Structure 1
């Protein structure tokens, strides 16, 4: 969350929508979609080409080749622009850029200025669009903006003109475009015929529709607001998990006069929003913003591990953020213990630079990823232990560069994170959040994707780690920019708000043998919190927390050198500790330990580790800070 940003709060029947610019694989490959994919690729690679041209202004060949490959689709899109001046200047920009080397220096500069003006004119049209403006025209203007945008930027670099102002205008215009084209989202009842004669439970699903869909008439419009019902069709998308609400007749005697339905607050519509907006310039705008915005700053570990059941020999899931790709693998413990086999990495969608993972109360693994520019994304298994079937990618509001997750005693996941300014935030799943309060199950279950607003904690940290003790209390650890290590924990189970008086302990500093840069934590077989830290020169240290208070073992250095690290305990009675790490050259390793305390009485040092074993790695080096196709945007309703 950037400084001054206001995270989305709880609300009734309307939402602050966090949107993800992910291309869904569920759509059929129709000709229209194929044409859009070509335009999306052009915008994405076009802005990347501009960055390359900044380093070598004379090399325009990459962007020129992209124009040649995509010209038919670009021209077809330009032909649909109703604003004649924008259509004309966009056509001129596409045609002229391909022969820019044949122009005189004066004409090259004149062309660069005119392409800049074309972008500014498109921005002005988008900014001027009001509630009565046909959003289809705004959508077309968004395409024009981002088809000319890379050309104008590259042309200005080529002739030696600065691009900072133009780049800012493109960013601002795309932010405006996303806001003006934002889908409408609400909870739709599944069937109007299910409205009860008297007050009663109704089932609904989160639903979004885009600007091509006429505003649906509300069913049974009563005095309290009515009932929202969205039929299936083009331009619409639905969350796939049910939401339980309660419908009330406006007149208890004359029930046919109208109803009002209420559902739980805080439902996240981002999955449905992204799907409903596919094929529009809203989606193009997210890619453009992602390509042009700066990195969010230093990020936490790109590798994460978790397991869905604490049972002996159950596999452990491993996840890896590769910058432009993500990967999933499995560590399979064997009866011999020290040498769990590894499945190898399988590519997944989602372009992240850092990841965390945890298991829901019912065993479904949930992963959390941070994009290059700090966007926060998560997805979950549809069935416990089935890593082949996942939800769509949901997006949280805010921006972070470090994220960790732990599970409360009541089963709700709680995430913690830091941003580039060192601010610390947390939020948690809402218990019973899929049901309106009056129809919640007993006992309530954690919501599928309904979260509390972000809460800011006191203190300043650069990276965090979280783990739940055997007593159900969450421990939060972190290192700050000076390399100091800190710890705090819940004082009572399910104390999800660390800002509440007495809910959590205060921060306690833990001494370190050297300034620390990265941290990971897990429990050992005895239920003790094991802390693993990496120094700035990539040395690995371990320390174990002994019960409550400030009693710890001494620090023990683990042989080897790693730049990123994740820690996990094998399930059940095997209980071996497993470290997975990435060296500075991108090579990956795994080590195991029984985690027992050894040495002379009173020495209290962590136990020895087996030798590091090499793992296959899809990384040639540390995950680069590459452009990705995800962008965090908070659109107010």
Structure 2
């Protein structure tokens, strides 16, 4: 398929902003980077990867930049054999890409990671490992993955009954081992018993049902390492909760769900949480009327949130929303409206909540789903999954010209013209170089 998106206007570059720190939401260790000027050539050893399920055969596939800031290959690669129904992706504690997916014909979920030695059975991926299924679940509406304060992977899902389920990698256990040492000033070895960390006897917890009923749930690792959950129920009410303790192992370790939509906001159809440059969790959500609203923690890490505000009103209703951070930690939003114009809105100052306002920068022929993530040099990449009339979905990407730039590349890069059912974009922190 030919390039189907035509750019429109470009806006002037934003003014210089104050220095601020950022905690990255997708990195398992949540590193903090200082605000960097536009033109910085390199700041993170990573490459962007798209994990996907194709709509033709249900294959679980991936395509990744060949190197940090590098080009995209022509071909997609198989992650695991067979057909797959639904998936999500994230990172292991050591920065490898991890995938949780449902094989066709079973409700059991499989956990798959990049092989640490890059010699896995299928294109350098480890063989799938079953992590079972929540009791009584027949299908799944949404899967979400996040890293906790220890870097362990935690998985959340909503099933066909709207129940919310949780499973996590068990923490390391403390075991006692004997070691032979020679004390200072002595020539006689002695045997001492010391406590050391060892892998858990059981890699994964049991499936745990959390309170509440939702259609969709999204997990995010907050600036202090605790995971927050955001969800929408069948009545389009929006809820949030978070871990009350850094190492949450049971239902009681979570705060209760708080309904955060109001009579003024009405219901919400989409949500996009992101960690801002001040370390606070920011939630952007799309109302039924197609307006983007914003609430955030104040102060960071607390369970107190600001009232709903608008980062800018749009005359046409938006159909989809994405939130991301540039390499310097500043928040950027992207949206597509009813006429399929693509717009961005950049946060210039997190202290004063100063925004650029919505600016058209491209257009698609058909409705689209949008995803934002950043390159190794900090420039944002926008991924557009275009929903084609015949049911086949193509995927295109384009890059911001520089950190804090309001210019975007003119031409789209096609990653596939059709046949994608679902995508997740991650940053592989163990890329080939």
For the aligned pair, the TM-score class normalised by the smaller chain equals: 0.5 to 0.7
Change (3 A) 1:490 1:620: same
Q: Contact conserved, 2:146 with 2:221, CA < 8 A, in 1? A: yes
- Please tell me whether residue 346 in structure 1 is matched to residue 95 in structure 2: no
Q: Which of 109, 116, 119 is residue 383 of structure 1 equivalent to?
A: 116
**Cα distance, 1:405 vs. partner?**
1.5
Q: CA deviation at 1:531?
A: 2.1
Q: What does the per-residue CA deviation read over 1:75-108, in whole Å, with 9 as the maximum and x for residues that have no partner?
A: xxxxxxxxxxxxxxxxxxxxxxxxxxxxxxxxxx
**Aligned 8 A contact 1:516 1:536 in 2:** yes
Aligned residue in 2 for 1:457: 210
Contact 1:591 1:609 in 2 (8 A): yes
Task: Please give the residue correspondences for 1:235-384 in structure 2 after superposition, counting only pairs within 5 Å.
Answer: 306-307=26-27, 310=31, 312-315=43-46, 316-323=48-55, 324-330=58-64, 343=72, 346-349=76-79, 351-352=83-84, 354-370=86-102, 375-383=108-116
CA, structure 1 residues 330+393, in 2 after alignment: closer, same or farther (shift >3 Å)? same
Count of matched residue pairs: 303
The higher radius of gyration belongs to 1
- Deviation of 1:508 after TM superposition, in Å, equals 0.9
Could you give the per-residue CA deviations for residues 420-469 of structure 1, whole angstroms, max 9, x where no partner exists? 11101111101237x9x667996536669821001111111111111122
Relative to total residues, which structure has the larger strand share, 1 or 2?
2
Residue 378 of structure 2 corresponds to: none
2:226 aligned to which of 473, 482, 490: 473
More displaced 10-residue stretch of structure 1: 562-571 or 519-528: 562-571
Q: 1:519 maps to what in 2?
A: 271
Change (3 A) 1:491 1:468: same
Which of 148, 156, 162 is the equivalent residue of 1:408?
148
Per the alignment, do residues 384 and 509 of structure 1 end up closer, same or farther by CA in structure 2, a change over 3 Å counting?
farther
1:428 alignment partner in structure 2: 168
Match among 305, 309, 323 for residue 551 of structure 1: 305
Q: Give distance in 2, aligned partners of 1:569 and 1:448.
A: 38
Unmatched tracts of structure 2, length 5 or more: 1-24, 34-42, 179-193, 363-381, 383-395, 398-413, 423-433
Q: For each residue in 1:1-58, what CA deviation from the matched residue of structure 2 results, as whole angstroms up to 9, or x when unmatched?
A: xxxxxxxxxxxxxxxxxxxxxxxxxxxxxxxxxxxxxxxxxxxxxxxxxxxxxxxxxx
Q: Is the 8 A contact 2:261 2:267 kept in 1?
A: no
Aligned pairs for 1:39-78 (under 5 A) are none
Q: Distance in 2 between matches of 1:568 and 1:445?
A: 36
TM-score (norm 1): 0.40
The 3 A distance-change label for structure 1 pair 535 and 376 is farther
SS at match of 2:169: strand
Q: For the residues of structure 2 that align with 1:341 and 1:590, how far apart are their CA atoms?
A: 26
Q: Superposed, which structure 2 residues align to 1:537-548 within 5 Å?
A: 541-547=293-299, 548=302
Query: Post-superposition shift, 1:356?
Result: 2.5
In structure 2, C-alpha distance between the alignment counterparts of 1:353 and 1:562, rounded to whole Å: 28
> Per-residue deviation at 1:332?
10
The corresponding residue for 2:131 is 396
Q: 1:529 aligns with which of 256, 281, 302?
A: 281
In structure 2, C-alpha distance between the alignment counterparts of 1:581 and 1:319, rounded to whole Å? 22
User: Do 1:370 and 1:401's aligned partners in 2 also have CA atoms closer than 8 Å?
Assistant: no
2-side partners of 1:318 and 1:592: how far apart? 24
**Maintained 8 Å contact 2:146/2:219:** yes
The TM-score with structure 2 as length reference comes to 0.56
- Paired with 1:389 and 1:596, the residues of 2 have a C-alpha distance of 42
Structure 1, unaligned runs of 5 or more: 1-304, 335-339, 625-637
For residues 496-507 of structure 1, the aligned pairs below 5 Å read 496-497=249-250, 499-500=251-252, 503-507=253-257
Distance 2:198 2:341 in 1: 38
Greater percentage in helix? 1
Q: Taking structure 1 as reference, are residues 320 and 306 closer, same or farther at Cα in structure 2, changes over 3 Å only?
A: farther
CA contact (8 A) 1:314 1:333 kept: no
Shift of the 618–394 alpha-carbon distance from structure 1 to 2, 3 Å rule, reads farther
**1:609 Cα deviation after fit:** 6.2
Superposition deviation, residue 595 in structure 1: 6.8
**Aligned match of 2:421:** 623
Mark the CA change 1:364 to 1:579 in structure 2 (over 3 Å): closer, same or farther: farther
8 Å Cα contact 1:364-1:385 kept in structure 2: no
